[in-house]
Amino acid sequence: MSDIRCPMCGKSNPSERETCQYCQARLKPLIISQQPGEPSADKDPLEFLSQSTGYSASESEDEGIPDWLASLRQGDQTDIQSDEAEPSDEEEKLPDWMQAEKVKTAGESQQDEGALPDWLTSFRDSGTTAAVVPPDESAESAELPFVEEEPEWVSRLDETAGIPPDQSIDLAKPDWQDLVEEQEAQPETEPTRIEGSEQAFSIDDRLNELAEEYTRMQPKSGTDSVSEEAAAIPDWLSAVEGSEAEEEPESIPDWLAGALVSQAEPPGIATRDEAELPVPEDLSAALTQERAAEEIASGETGEEPLQLADLETTTPDWLDELVSSKPSAIVEPEEKEASSEIEVPEWLTGYDEPMALDLEKQIPDVGGGEESGILLDWLEEEAEEAPKEPEAVSIDTAVTSFVAPFALDEESQAFLESEESGWMVESADLEGSIEAAELPTEIEEEEGLSKAELPSWLAAMRPLETAAPASLVAEESERQVEGVGPLAGLKSVLPSEYDVGTLKAPAAYTVKLQVSESQKAHINLIDELIKAEGEAGEIPSRRILGPQHLLLIGIAVILLLALLWPVLTEKQTISLPAFSDEIFAASSQITNLPGNAPVLLAVDYEPGMTGELEATVNAVLDHLMLKGAYLTLVSTITSGPAQAERLVQEVSNRAGHTYQSPDQYANLGFIPGSLTGIRAFSETPNRMAPYALDGSSVWTEGPLAGFQSLADFGMVIVLTENPNTARAWIEQAGPLLGETPLLMVVSAQIEPVVRPYFEVGSQQVNGIVAGLPGGAAYEQMIGRPGPARKYWDAYSLGVSLIALLIILGAVINVTYYLLSSRKSTVGETKR
Amino acid sequence: MIGMADLIGTLLGIMLTLFVFSYILGDNVLFRVATYLFIGTAAGYAAVIAWYNVIWPQLLRPLVFGSQPERLFVLFPLVLSGMLLLKVSPRYTRLGNPAVAFLVGIGVATAIAGAVLGTIFPQVGASINLFDAEGVAPGENAITELFKGGLILLGTLATLIYFHFGTGKSPANNPKRPEWLEWLALIGQLFIAITFGALFAGVFSAALTALIERLFFITDFLFSLF
ipTM value = 0.89
Q: How many helices and strands, by DSSP H and E, does chain A display? A: 33, 8
Buried b (16+ CB within 10 A) or exposed e, A101-134: bbbbbbbbeebbbbbbbbbbbbbbbbbbbbbbbb
Chain A residues with beta carbon closer than 8 angstroms to that of B129: 761
Highest mean pLDDT among A273-287, A493-507, A609-623: A609-623
In terms of DSSP H, where are the helices of A298-358?
A: 317-325, 346-349
CB within 8 Å of chain A, chain B residues 6-35: 24
CB within 8 Å of chain A, chain B residues 84-143: 106-107, 110-111, 114-115, 117-119, 122-123, 125-126, 129, 135
- Sheet harboring A598-604: ordered strands across? A665-670, A630-635, A598-604, A715-720, A742-746, A767-770
Does the distance separating the beta carbons of B38 and A772 come in below 8 Å?
A: no
Per DSSP, A606 falls in state: -
CB within 8 Å of chain B, chain A residues 682-741: 690-691, 693, 721, 727-728, 730-732, 734-735
Distance from CA of B173 to the nearest CA of A (A): 32
Other Cβ atoms within 10 Å of A715 Cβ, number: 24
Residue A431 scores a pLDDT above 80: no
Please give the residue of chain A at the shortest CA–CA distance from B41: A639
Distance from CA of A814 to the nearest CA of B (A): 18
A242 burial (CB, 10 Å; 0-12 / 13-18 / 19+) is middle
pLDDT digits over A743-783, tens only? 999 999 999 999 999 988 778 899 999 999 999 999 998 88
**Residue A244 φ/ψ, nearest 5 degrees:** -85, -25
Per DSSP, A330 falls in state: S
CA distances from A802 to A465, A548, A748, A792, B205 (A): 121, 17, 16, 15, 10
Does the distance separating the beta carbons of B215 and A567 come in below 8 Å?
A: yes
CB within 8 Å of chain B, chain A residues 589-628: 607-612, 614-615
Distance from CA of B180 to the nearest CA of A (A): 29
Q: How many helices and strands, by DSSP H and E, does chain B display? A: 8, 0
Q: How confident is the model at residue A354 (pLDDT cuts 50, 70, 90)?
A: very low
Contact A25, A502 (CB under 8 A): no
CB within 8 Å of chain B, chain A residues 120-159: none
Q: How confident is the model at residue A10 (pLDDT cuts 50, 70, 90)?
A: confident
Q: What is the C-alpha to C-alpha distance for residues A283 and A255, in angstroms, rounded to an integer?
A: 19
Does the distance separating the beta carbons of A556 and B202 come in below 8 Å?
A: no
Contact B100, B87 (CB under 8 A): yes
Q: What is the identity of the amino acid at A428?
A: A
Does the distance separating the beta carbons of B49 and A670 come in below 8 Å?
A: yes
Distance from CA of B196 to the nearest CA of A (A): 10
Q: What is the identity of the amino acid at A654?
A: R
Chain A interface mutation, best of B73, B209, B213, highest count of A Cβ atoms under 10 Å = B209
Q: Is the peptide bond before A662 cis (omega within 30 degrees of 0)?
A: yes
Nearest residue to A616 via CA among A385, A804, A411, A772: A772
- DSSP assignment of A708-742 equals -SGGGSSEEEEEES-HHHHHHIIIIIHHHHTTS-E
**Sign of the alpha-carbon dihedral angle for A42, A45, A46, A51:** positive
Q: What is the C-alpha to C-alpha distance for residues A413 and A396, in angstroms, rounded to an integer?
A: 8
Highest mean pLDDT among A101-105, A242-246, A390-394, B49-53: B49-53
Q: What is the mean pLDDT of chain A?
A: 68
Q: Is A266 on the interface with B (CB under 8 A)?
A: no
Other Cβ atoms within 10 Å of B2 Cβ, number: 12
Q: Is A561 on the interface with B (CB under 8 A)?
A: no
Average pLDDT over residues A20-29: 85
pLDDT digits over A458-516, tens only? 877 776 655 455 455 445 545 567 777 788 888 887 766 655 556 677 777 777 778 88
A770 pairs with which residues across the strands? A746
Contact A607, B42 (CB under 8 A): yes
Nearest residue to A714 via CA among A622, A774, A618, A628: A628
Q: What is the C-alpha to C-alpha distance for residues B198 and A727, in angstroms, rounded to an integer?
A: 18
Chain B interface mutation, best of A544, A569, A731, A789, highest count of B Cβ atoms under 10 Å = A731
Q: Is A764 on the interface with B (CB under 8 A)?
A: yes
Q: What is the C-alpha to C-alpha distance for residues B1 and B224, in angstroms, rounded to an integer?
A: 9
Q: What is the C-alpha to C-alpha distance for residues A453 and A34, in angstroms, rounded to an integer?
A: 37
Please give the residue of chain B at the shortest CA–CA distance from A554: B24
The distance in angstroms from the start CA to the end CA of chain A is: 112
Q: To the nearest 10°, the Cα dihedral for A640, A643, A645, A649?
A: -160
Chain B interface mutation, best of A637, A698, A791, A804, highest count of B Cβ atoms under 10 Å = A791
Any idea what the Cα angle at residue A405 is, between residues A203 and A301, rounded to 5°? Answer: 90
Q: What is the C-alpha to C-alpha distance for residues A610 and A436, in angstroms, rounded to an integer?
A: 111
pLDDT digits over A643-689, tens only? 999 999 989 988 888 888 788 889 998 998 888 999 999 998 888 88
Does the distance separating the beta carbons of A728 and B107 come in below 8 Å?
A: no
All residues at 6 or more sequence positions from A418 whose CB lies less than 8 Å from its CB, including other chains: A342, A343, A344, A440, A468
Average pLDDT over residues B57-70: 87
**Sign of the alpha-carbon dihedral angle for A292, A293, A297, A298:** negative
Please give the residue of chain B at the shortest CA–CA distance from A748: B202
Distance from CA of B122 to the nearest CA of A (A): 7
Q: Is B144 on the interface with A (CB under 8 A)?
A: no
Chain A residues with beta carbon closer than 8 angstroms to that of B198: 752
Chain A residues with beta carbon closer than 8 angstroms to that of B202: 747-752, 770-771
Q: What is the C-alpha to C-alpha distance for residues A728 and A679, in angstroms, rounded to an integer?
A: 9
Contact A157, A257 (CB under 8 A): no
Does the distance separating the beta carbons of B215 and A638 come in below 8 Å?
A: no
% residues pLDDT > 70 (chain B): 98
Q: Does this model's pTM top 0.95?
A: no
State CA A436 to chain mean position distance: 31
Chain A residues with beta carbon closer than 8 angstroms to that of B57: 690-691
pLDDT digits over B9-54, tens only? 888 999 999 999 998 888 889 999 999 999 999 999 999 988 988 8
DSSP H or E stretch at residue A633: strand A630-635
A570 vs A112, residue with greater confidence: A570
A672, A676, A750 member nearest B106 (Cβ): A676
CB within 8 Å of chain A, chain B residues 193-222: 195, 198-199, 201-206, 208-216, 219
Q: What is the C-alpha to C-alpha distance for residues A90 and B114, in angstroms, rounded to an integer?
A: 143
Q: How confident is the model at residue B88 (pLDDT cuts 50, 70, 90)?
A: very high
Q: Is B53 on the interface with A (CB under 8 A)?
A: yes
In terms of DSSP H, where are the helices of A326-439?
A: 346-349, 359-362, 368-384, 397-402, 410-417, 422-427, 431-436
> What pLDDT is recorded for position A450?
73
Does the distance separating the beta carbons of A676 and B107 come in below 8 Å?
A: yes
Q: What is the largest CA-CA distance in chain B?
A: 83
Other Cβ atoms within 10 Å of A57 Cβ, number: 14
Average pLDDT over residues A168-175: 54
